[in-house]
Amino acid sequence: MSALTSPTSTHTPSTNTIELSGLEKAILSDYQKGFPLTPRPFYTLASQLGCTEAEVLACLQRLQQLGVITRIGPVFNHRRAGASTLAALRAPVGQLQDIAELINAYDEVNHNYLREHDLNLWFVVTAPDADHLDAVIRNMETATGLKVRRFPMVRPYHIDLGFRPDFD
């Protein structure tokens, strides 16, 4: 099994939860949006947090290596930046792993979850335009022999503006 398709259990015992320093918690809480657009952004963070640029970089490197930070960068409004939809299919239990791997292999898929329902594999497909999106989904249907259901967004009421973790 390749690293790409290695599933992450969502029932990791809390004992596996990573110990975070005060500085790491502050960085994670405060910089999910409004990351400084200054020539030396890590220096800007350091001066706001009362530490050195080297300490900030070391923290971020550790958090990225541990997988706590996926990346530092833009989160796009998909509707403005191309075409996207939430999609789902009903994968027969015996074929689940193969189908999940097949869906994962598309560059156009950025989230892919097994959920507790008959309609069990849920993923987000994002493409530069509607035609490309349609072609990818039809390609998935041919490849899996399964109907891919589409649930496009009509209107956002609350979008992901970062998440303030409760570090108790």
Which residues inside 53-92 make contact with another protein, applying CB under 8 A?
A: 53, 57, 60-61, 64, 66-78, 80-82, 84, 86
Contacting residue, 35, 47, 51, 55, with another protein by CB under 8 A: 35
Please name the residues in contact with 140: beta carbons below 8 A apart, sequence gap of 6 or more.
89, 102, 103, 106, 148
Of 38 and 48, which CB lies nearer to another protein in the complex structure? 38
Contacting residue, 1, 2, 17, 93, with another protein by CB under 8 A: 17
Q: Smallest distance from the beta carbon of 126 to another protein, in angstroms?
A: 5
Q: Smallest distance from the beta carbon of 114 to another protein, in angstroms?
A: 4
68 within 8 A of 28, measured Cβ to Cβ: yes
Residues 100-159 that bind another protein (CB under 8 A): 100-117, 119, 122-124, 126-128, 132, 135-136, 139-140, 142-145, 149-159
- Rg, the chain, Cα only: 19
Q: Smallest distance from the beta carbon of 92 to another protein, in angstroms?
A: 10
Of 37 and 50, which CB lies nearer to another protein in the complex structure? 37
Distance separating alpha carbons of residues 90 and 122, to the nearest angstrom: 9
Of 34 and 50, which CB lies nearer to another protein in the complex structure? 34
Q: Smallest distance from the beta carbon of 106 to another protein, in angstroms?
A: 6
Q: Rounding to the nearest 10 degrees, give the CA dihedral for residues 33, 132, 107, 119.
A: 90
Give the burial class of 145: count Cβ atoms within 10 A of its Cβ; 0-12 exposed, 13-18 middle, 19 or more buried: exposed
Q: Smallest distance from the beta carbon of 94 to another protein, in angstroms?
A: 11
22: alpha, beta or left? (left if phi > 0; alpha if psi -120 to 50): alpha
Please name the residues in contact with 41: beta carbons below 8 A apart, sequence gap of 6 or more.
35
Of 22 and 163, which CB lies nearer to another protein in the complex structure? 163
* Three-state SS at 25: helix
